[in-house]
Chains A and B, each alone.
Chain A
Amino acid sequence: MAGKTMQSMRNPLARVRGLGSAKEGVHHWWAQRLTAIALVPLTIWFVISIAGLAGVDHAGAVAWIGSAPVAVLLVLLIAAVYWHAQLGVQVVIEDYVHNEAVKLTALIALKFAAIALGVASIFAVLRLAFGG
């Protein structure tokens, strides 16, 4: 930095402490975009399909969820959407919750809930796909 014009808005102490961003580079940003791109076709497919299933009975729903291409697309959708959702809600928590203990607790609860609900959803799809 010595002798050069200031090239960063970050002050020297913040640089030394490695503050800023989330200390993990662009990983969060990139993962959110990657899942967003995947979710564009998956969402369109899902909405059209689910609208076509309006008023379906149990047998019809089970047949649809368990059929091979649908089950694969549902697993992809569930994985992408829960990953995307928890990345987004994480930023909202980080922006609005300023108490460190509450923030940390909320983030841990969010990550655990997203993984648990995502895995449960995928398990339900696989169970129907494999005829459990």
Chain B
Amino acid sequence: MSADRRPLSPHLQIYKPQLTSVLSISHRATGVGLAAGLLLLTWWLLAAAAGPDSFAVVQDFLGSWLGYLILFGFSYALMFHLCNGVRHLFWDAGWGFELDTVYKSGWAVVIASVALTVLAWAIAIVSA
């Protein structure tokens, strides 16, 4: 079969969004967002090592409304990517490919990621 006669999938816009496809692209999107968010971790560590003045600048930023927005988005993205990543690891092991299992694990990821994010912020609020 020559390369130019191979069948092509229709373009992405043809398909109705489903849980499976939405979680799939969300895994990639959160991964990219988390990679960018690593800058914040590095900034925080470097500032802590640099001294109290630098550290205060980071803490002030994180305590602003923009800082909270980023931290909240980062925390949810992290919990989602973690839960869905574990789902991927089970797939890698050959488990969970039945259609109903794929949907069950998908909803489990949605629920668990929300629950873990709420839990993390509950710990933060109690500690602050």
Chain A residues proximal to chain B, CB less than 8 Å: 6, 11, 14, 33, 36-37, 39-40, 43-44, 47-48, 51-55, 58-59, 61-62, 65, 74, 78, 81-82, 85-86, 88-89, 92, 117, 120-121, 123-125, 127-128, 132
Contact = CB atoms under 8 A, between A and B. Distances in A.
B22 interface: no
Interface of B: 1-3, 28, 31-32, 34-35, 38-39, 41-42, 45-46, 48-49, 51-52, 55-56, 75, 78-79, 82, 85-86, 88-89, 92, 116, 120-121, 123-125, 127-128
A54 B31 contact: no
Contacts, number: 94
Given A33-B92, A54-B128, A58-B55, A43 B82 contact: yes
Nearest to A61: B48
A37 B89 contact: yes
B31 A128 contact: no
B124 to A, nearest CB: 4
B123 A51 contact: yes
A92 B36 CA distance: 13
A32 B49 CA distance: 30
B38 A81 contact: yes
Nearest to A47: B120
Contact of B39 (A47, A58, A92, A117): A117
29 contacts: A14-B3, A36-B85, A36-B89, A47-B120, A51-B120, A51-B121, A52-B127, A54-B125, A54-B127, A58-B48, A58-B56, A59-B52, A74-B45, A78-B41, A85-B31, A85-B34, A85-B35, A88-B28, A88-B35, A89-B31, A92-B31, A92-B32, A117-B39, A121-B41, A121-B42, A121-B46, A124-B42, A125-B45, A132-B49
